[in-house]
Amino acid sequence: MSPVPPPLPAIILDPIVRLALAEDLGRAGDLTTDATISPDTKMSVVIAARQPGVIAGLDAATHALHLIDTAMQLTIEKPDGSAIVPGDVVGRLDGTARSILTAERTMLNFIGRLSGVATLTRKFVETVAHTDARIVCTRKTTPGHRALEKRAVRCGGGTAHRYGLDDAILIKDNHIAACGSIAEAMTRAKAYAGHLRMIEIEVDTLDQLEEALKFSPHAVLLDNMDTDMLRRAVAMIDGRVVAEASGGVNLSTVAAIAETGVDFISVGALTHSAPNLDVGLDVV
């Protein structure tokens, strides 16, 4: 399982978290809190788990709290990557009630969403743990939140495919169609790429795989192949390049896919279909 990554740096977190807070505070701020809570009121609360899962997003939540009140501190008891059960205390807050109540929803939104991604990832990772296959996420992320969601995948034990179009060359079926052939696409890609730039090519038949292997890509994306075809593809590859399976992967199929011998399994659902994990703020 991949190690839990460090918190994202502030330069990445700041624009994302500021936008979330601005969306909530609008033009006039927190009217309810301003109207009902005196500035000197103090409060002690815990962030508590309502469901079992894996925690992620505490870096974003902490940043949101500090943008509301630099004097506030979130004391973390279950760091990102921790397994939790209902009733577990994830973190504690003591301080100004106005600050806590204003930051509450944005903090919980980040934790709930990103913990959901980490939790679903952990389920996939555990399902293939008897194999050498690794679970990777894709670019099917919430616009603007890719860095957060890909970190959450890593908190769940998975790893990342490309972060963006500038990470690597991935020749997909539409690129091949536009070029006219695998040979032409690979020839152009190898002429363009620098010596540190990875080239992966998507294939969906064994004939395409055979043609692609002639050009020695770094990796092949075996798209929407059934398990029998995947086994044959892995045998053809014979360890020469990285083998990645993709397409229609879910928790009921991923173990069989992993057992074919592929190196990686990319799962778009980790980020586009993960349900929120229920966490709440309780006064103590």
Active site residues: 105, 140, 172, 202, 223
DSSP 196: T
β-strands 242-246, 264-266: how paired? parallel
Phi–psi pair at 240, nearest 5 degrees: -75, -35
- To which H or E segment does residue 89 belong? strand 89-96
Nearest alpha-carbon partner for 56 in 158, 170, 151: 151
CA distance 149 to 200: 23
Q: Which residue is associated with the tokens 């296959």? A: 133
CA distance 20 to 14: 10
